Amino acid sequence: MLLSRQAFATPFVICMCILGVGLIQFPQLQKLINSNQSASLETLDKEIKAENIRLNFLKKTPTFGYNNFIADLVYLNFIQYFGDDQVRDKTGYSLSPEYFEIILERDPRFLAAYRSLSISTSLYAGMPERAIALAEKGLKSLSPSVPEKSYYVWRYKGVDELLFLGNAKAAEQSFAMAANWASKFSDPESQMIAHTSQKTAEFLSRNPNSKYAQIATWAIILNNQVDERTQKRAIREIEALGGKVLTTPEGTHKIVFPPKD
């Protein structure tokens, strides 16, 4: 009886330690959020280094079956980190891929995380290689139907490859895979994604420098429920490529492509 109790207690205590470490992150991140313009860069750097140490610890800590719980907890931490614009303007977004290394290792089927990975790590942290590598690793655990709408991961990967690496060939293949996975479903959203992804892949196959393909890819970002800063960046990029962005009465964006590709 004593042995069985000890066998139960050991993983339980370790799991509680994991939970404790996770919860400790909240007040630390709250300190970052409450930091204002008067906070010194040196102080902020120390807090970022401390957060990095905690993330590295979590990467190496066993979860004993609580993978999804840890992934959710770290994702909440990431949202706090990413959303603190004042501090991020001073320190940058270099910790973004560190959060997602934990999140997607623990739960590679966490679909919403891939969208945040692409925006935070490629667009803001300037590390598209890390974002693509994490997406590629996660895709090994996905299938067309698991999780639902997993074809979006191929789209996010294609966005990063085209816009931030300039790798049109890899992007063409990613959009073609998105079209293939989405085409297996008959609902309107999946069919729309299949059609637009296939069109983007075709543009890139004919012309690797296609402005149409680049505009369509920035439109993916624009219409992806992103923050205002990201929307403004996407609109600027679309207009620089010769396109126009119109706002409909319903509040959605309509893209007008240039006369020639």
CA dist 67 and 82 (Å) reads 22
DSSP code string of 179-226: HHHHTT--SHHHHHHHHHHHHHHHHHHH-TT-HHHHHHHHHHHHTS--
Residue ranges of domains in the chain: 12-30+41-85+93-141, 143-261
What does the pLDDT read at residue 10?
46
Average pLDDT estimate for 96-107: 97
Confidence of residue 227 (pLDDT cuts 50, 70, 90): confident
How far, CA to CA in Å, does 160 sit from each of 7, 25, 175? 46, 29, 11
pTM beyond 0.85: the answer is no
What average pLDDT does the segment 219-238 reach? 89
For residues 63 and 232, give the distance between their C-alpha atoms in angstroms, rounded to a whole number: 40
Q: Mean of the pLDDT values across residues 7-16? A: 46
pLDDT at 157 over 60: yes
Please tell me the distance from the alpha carbon of residue 140 to that of residue 44, in angstroms, as a whole number.
37
Residue 142 CA to residue 104 CA, distance in Å, equals: 12
For residue 33, what pLDDT is reported?
52
pLDDT at 12 over 50: no
